[in-house]
Amino acid sequence: MQKTSTRRQFLAAASAGAALTFTATSYGKIVGANERISIGLIGCGGRGYAAHMPGVHKHDKEQNVEFTAVSDPWRVRRERAAARCQEWYNRPARQFVSYRDILALDDIDAVMIASCDHHHAVHLEAVAKVKKDAYCEKPLAMDMESLKRCCDAVKASGIVVQMGTQVRSFPTSTGCRELFRSGVIGKVSRIEQRRNGSKPYWYSWMQRAETIDAKDVDWKEFLMDRPMRPFDGKLLTGWYGYREFTDGPIANLGCHFIDLYNYIVGSTLPESCVAQGGTFTWKDEYAFTCPDQAQATWIYPGGFMVSYCTNFGNSDGNVLKIYGDEGTIDLTNWQKPTFSGAGAIKPTKLTKEDQPVDPVETPDHFLDWLQCLRSRKLCNAPIEAGYNHCVPALMAIRAMDTGRRQVYDAAKREFRDG
C-alpha cells in the first residue's frame, strides 16, 4: 500500500479545520480514502476472534481495511481466524505461528494485539520499533520495566495506538464525563466499584486439556519469556487463572474501571495504594493461582479515594459509583448510567430521583482507531491511557503480594514501599 500522502490531501485536511499534529513518521503514513489499510491480527483466541475481528468487520468496507495476516501459537486458532478472512474477503489471510513474521511483512500497515497478558508489552514494543500502528489489549504490562520500555517505544515511533479499554468510548461514558465537568455533583470524594460473580471468569475460557494436541501448538512461542516446562493444554486455554501469565481480576477487570474513571473525572495516576486478596472459595484440582477475592484502594492527588473489589464467591452487590459532595453518578449499569442528588452533603440542584445521563455521540472504539489510522489524530485511549490504567493495577498487585502500602513516584516513574 502506498503510504505517502499528497500535498493536496494534507491541505484539504488543514482547510477542513482538522487539529492535526504530526511527527515525521505520522506525516509519512497519512493515507487516502481509496487506499486499503492492511491489518495483521496477533492472537486469534477469544478476544481476537470474537471481539477484534467482528469489531473491525462492522466498518471494514466503509473504512477500506482488511485483515490480511493472522498469527497464533495454536494452529487451530489461527486456521479458524484465517477461514473467517476467506469468508469475508474471498481471499485467504496469511497464517503465522509468531508475531515476528507479521511484523516482517512490508505490506502490513497496522496490527491488533489480542494475545495473552504476558505478551502485550513485548508485542507492542516490537510493533513500535517497526513503526506499524497498533490496537493493543489491556492490561498493557505485568511489570514496570516492560511498561516503561513499551510506552517509550510507542512515543518515539510516532505510531497511532489505541488501548483496548473500550468502555470509555461508550456514548454514555462521554455523557458522564460531560456531566462531571459541569460540576453538578460537586467535588468528588470517592469512586468505587464492586464487580462480583458466582465463578471466576477463567473457568469459562479453559478447555479440556486432553482435547488439545501438543503438535498443534508452538509451546515456546506461547510461554515466551516464562520458564520452559512440558506442554500443558490447561495452561494454554486457562492462563487467565494463573498468576504467571496474568495478574488476576484487579488487572483484568479493574483496569476497565480505572480507565473509565480516569476518562470521566480527568485523573491520571494515584499517590498510594493498599490491597489484599486470596483464594477462599474456588479451591479445586486446577490449582488456579489468581485470587477469587481481591480488594484495592488508591488515594489520588486532589484528595479522593478509589476502591475496587471482586468477590467470586457471591454475585450480589455489584456497584460502580462516583460520589461528590453535591450528588452521585451511578454507572453500575454502564450502558444506562444515572445521576441524582443522593447522599449530597452540600446544597444541590439535583433531585433525589435517578435521572438518565444523556449520551454524547462517540465513535465506537474500533471505528475511532480505524479513523485515526487515516487522520493520524490521537485515539480516544492513547498510550498514556494504557500507562495510566496499568500503573495503579501494578501498584495494587505489589501491595497485595507484599502486604505493604505502595507509593508512586511520578518523577522516577516507579513505586516503592511506603
Which tens digits make up the pLDDT trace of 72-97?
999 999 999 999 999 999 998 999 99
| Cβ atoms of residues 25 and 157 within 8 Å | yes
| Cβ atoms of residues 163 and 385 within 8 Å | yes
What is the arithmetic mean of pLDDT over 57-80?
A: 97
Amino acid at 157: S
Flag whether pLDDT at 10 surpasses 50: no
Which tens digits make up the pLDDT trace of 158-197?
999 999 999 999 999 999 999 999 999 999 999 999 999 9
Confidence band for 208, pLDDT divided at 50, 70 and 90: confident
Helix, strand or coil, per DSSP, at residue 96: strand
pTM of the model: 0.91
Q: Are strands 161-163 and 133-136 parallel, antiparallel or unpaired?
A: parallel
Flag whether pLDDT at 409 surpasses 80: yes
* Average pLDDT value over all residues in the chain: 93
Flag whether pLDDT at 7 surpasses 60: no
C-alpha neighbours within 13 Å on the C-beta side of residue 314 = 2
Flag whether pLDDT at 16 surpasses 50: no
Beta bridge partners of 193: 308, 320
Flag whether pLDDT at 63 surpasses 80: yes
Which pLDDT score, from 0 to 100, does residue 30 have? 58
Amino acid at 13: A
Torsion angle of C-alpha atoms 152, 153, 159, 165, degrees rounded to 10: -60
- Sequence-ordered strand ranges (E) for 204-342: 272-278, 293-300, 304-311, 319-324, 327-330, 338-340
Taking the CB of residue 163, how many other CB atoms lie within 10 A of it? 31
Which tens digits make up the pLDDT trace of 266-281?
999 999 999 999 999 9
Is 340 or 4 the better-scoring residue by pLDDT? Answer: 340
Which pLDDT score, from 0 to 100, does residue 19 have? 38
Torsion angle of C-alpha atoms 127, 130, 134, 139, degrees rounded to 10: 20
Peptide bond into 139 cis (omega under 30): yes
The rounded distance, in Å, linking the Cα atoms of 52 and 112 is 7
Q: Which of 279, 275, 204, 283 is nearest to 238 (CA)?
A: 204
Which tens digits make up the pLDDT trace of 136-148?
999 999 999 999 9
Q: Which of 408, 268, 409, 262 is nearest to 322 (CA)?
A: 262
Which pLDDT score, from 0 to 100, does residue 257 have? 98
The rounded distance, in Å, linking the Cα atoms of 322 and 265 is 9
Q: Cα 51–98–106 angle (5° rounding)?
A: 90
What is the arithmetic mean of pLDDT over 280-299?
A: 97
Tell me which long-range contacts 218-223 makes (C-beta under 8 A, separation of at least 24): 218/73, 218/74, 218/97, 218/98, 219/73, 221/73, 221/97, 221/98, 222/73, 222/74, 222/116
What is the arithmetic mean of pLDDT over 360-380?
A: 97
Catalogue all structural domains in the chain, each as residue range(s) with its CATH number: 7-167+366-382 (3.40.50.720), 169-361+391-417 (3.30.360.10)
What is the arithmetic mean of pLDDT over 16-39?
A: 59
| Cβ atoms of residues 38 and 108 within 8 Å | yes
The rounded distance, in Å, linking the Cα atoms of 259 and 256 is 5
DSSP state string for 123-181: HHHHHHHTT-EEEEPSS--SSHHHHHHHHHHHHHHT--EEES-GGGGSHHHHHHHHHHH
Which pLDDT score, from 0 to 100, does residue 15 have? 33
The rounded distance, in Å, linking the Cα atoms of 159 and 148 is 16
Which pLDDT score, from 0 to 100, does residue 225 have? 96
Flag whether pLDDT at 152 surpasses 90: yes
Helix, strand or coil, per DSSP, at residue 372: helix
Cα–Cα distances (Å) from 280 to 27, 311, 313, in that order, read: 53, 10, 8
Confidence band for 13, pLDDT divided at 50, 70 and 90: very low
Which pLDDT score, from 0 to 100, does residue 351 have? 95
What is the arithmetic mean of pLDDT over 34-56?
A: 95
Confidence band for 22, pLDDT divided at 50, 70 and 90: very low
Flag whether pLDDT at 6 surpasses 90: no
What is the arithmetic mean of pLDDT over 301-329?
A: 97
